[in-house]
Amino acid sequence: MKRSEKASRIHKMLVELYPETPVPLDHSDPFTLLVAVLLSAQTTDKKVNEISPELFAAAGTPSSMASLTVEQLKHLIRQIGLSNTKAKNLYKLCRLLLDNHDGQVPQTFAELEALPGVGHKTASVVMSQAFGVPAFPVDTHIHRLAARWGLSDGKNVEKTERDLKALFPRESWNDLHLQIIFFGREYCPARYHDLTGCPICSWTATKKRIAEEAKMNEPKKRTKR
């Protein structure tokens, strides 16, 4: 089956499974979304949603967040990974928003990616979910599923993003990014996944891929001493 045929069938399945695509990170405006996405690096959306109410109650705007010290910010986000680095980035980010953007979240990729702690994936999420600009944020999870499904042979997320954008209609990118994430969480975990029983992997993954992942999931034999 050609990649384009796989993509069309997968798209139809995902739309049927997930007709609604709420953003998993709790937020109320572009700024709180930007902060939540930045905080979600190397931690779960669930954990970010657990700490964000206290954070946004204390500092829900660039000016109020910039009025706190880095140590205060670190305390507010202490339960998530890389809290020290993230606190420093949040403080610098808010200062730049106030100094260069009148306290507003910029609406271009270049300006977003110039902010501390904001990479292309974070910028893509904000552009797509806050401003409705077609984008296809690719994290490690989407990168893995695209490889399993034979939609990309990219060795990095940048190549996978280009491949997925070429396969799916531009107007579907914003929803599709979330639909793939929802599917991955429900059906297609990273580890101990039986590809033969998955609604999509079962017919998209190559025999080689299925065998490789099955071997990876085998319990390691103990060596005799």
> Among all residues, which ones are annotated catalytic?
121, 139
Distance CA 34, CA 183 (A): 24
Write the single-letter amino acid at 46. K
- Across 124-137, b (16+ Cβ under 10 Å) vs e yields bbbbbbbeeeebbb
**156: burial class by Cβ within 10 Å (0-12, 13-18, 19+)?**
exposed
End-to-end Cα distance, the chain? 49
Interior CA angle at 129 toward 98 and 49, to 5°?
A: 80
**Phi-psi domain of 33 (left: phi exceeds 0; alpha: psi -120 through 50; beta: other):** alpha
Let me know: does 127 contact 107? Beta carbons within 8 Å.
yes
Q: How far apart are CA 174 and CA 176, in angstroms?
A: 6
Cβ atoms of 32 and 60 within 8 Å: the answer is yes
CA 68 centroid distance within chain: 28
